[in-house]
Amino acid sequence: MTFIKHLDLKSVPCPLNVVKIKLALEKLSTNECLIVELDKGEPEEMVLNNLKEMGCLFKQIKESEKFIKIKILNGN
């Protein structure tokens, strides 16, 4: 069974959103995943690039005009 945690980072500026995601990922258990909503543009680019650098598995699950929603799997 997978447990899901949710983080709404819409209108949170860079690099604060990256820091908040890192902190949230550190608190996840093995069978948990994190759903993150963030603004498109620079926040989206910064977060996705950072997740790739960290080797996190993630996928985009929703996209609107102003924000995206991604699901990050815990790699522990």
- Percent of the chain exceeding pLDDT 90 equals 83
Stretch 5-26: mean pLDDT: 96
Residue 67 to residue 36: CA distance in whole angstroms? 10
For 4-13, the pLDDT digits (tens) are 899 999 999 9
pLDDT above 70 covers a percentage of the chain that reads: 95
pLDDT tens digits along 27-43: 998 888 999 999 999 99
Residue 39 CA neighbour count, 13 Å, CB half: 11
Kindly report the pTM of this predicted structure: 0.90
Among 3.30.110.40, 3.40.50.10800, 3.40.50.1820, 3.40.50.720, name the CATH number for the domain at 3-73.
Answer: 3.30.110.40
Task: Break the chain into its structural domains and give their ranges.
Answer: 3-73
